[in-house]
Amino acid sequence: MTDHRALLVVDVQPTFCEGGALAVPGGNDVARAIAEYAAAHRGEYDLVVTTQDWHVDPGAHFSETPDFVDTWPPHGVAGTAEAELHPALAELGPDASVRKGAYAAAYSGFEGVDAEGRALAQILEGAGIAAVDVVGIAESHCVKATALDALELGLATRVLTDLTVPVTPELGAAARDELRTAGVELATS
């Protein structure tokens, strides 16, 4: 733990897994793989933080006729079972949990706050975190946005590509190119 590293578990929620409102193929498998990885590697992290889409009334983010770019079908609705952490993460015991997107679209975990109103950046800074590993759903959207924001904050940022899944293979390839170009390290667990 000499590098003060945190594990950021992004939006691993039933709403983004098979059977959910905005399902990503492979979501359930990734949720289980993240749970296994976190259990086996917990000692390597100073902090484990989860993020969740937690939409109360996100305005134009929800649409009855979504374009799947800026507008989406309702998902991650606050207070529903689909918005909770995936059941595979029941034993995760995160050090902090951040919810985002209550009243607006929010892709990056850095747009969220915990129950005390602390932003993700404050939580990480308060723990002296210098490096993050980012995992979760979906690689092409919220994982990418969270990783890019972490890098912008000066954190050494790594995405564990086998512990995330994109909406489509094409969007995943584009996301990995964008992350790599920005300076995010892509690795496997």
Cβ-contact 152, 167 below 8 angstroms: no
Give the model confidence (pLDDT) of 93-103 as tens digits: 999 999 999 99
Which position among 11, 114, 133, 149 bears the catalytic label? Answer: 11
What is the CATH code of the structural domain delimited by 5-187? 3.40.50.850
Give the model confidence (pLDDT) of 147-189 as tens digits: 999 999 999 999 999 999 999 999 999 999 999 999 999 999 9
Domain residue ranges of the chain, discontinuous segments joined by +: 5-187
Burial of 12 (C-beta count, 10 Å sphere; 0-12/13-18/19+): buried
Separation between Cα atoms, residue 189 and residue 185, nearest integer Å: 12
Which position among 46, 114, 133, 142 bears the catalytic label? Answer: 142
Nearest of 53, 41, 57 to residue 136 by alpha carbon: 53
pTM: 0.96
Known active-site residue 144: no
Which position among 17, 46, 53, 100 bears the catalytic label? Answer: 100
Known active-site residue 11: yes
Q: If you write DSSP's letter for every residue of 82-104 in order, what string do you get? A: GGSPPGGGTT---SEEEEE-SSS
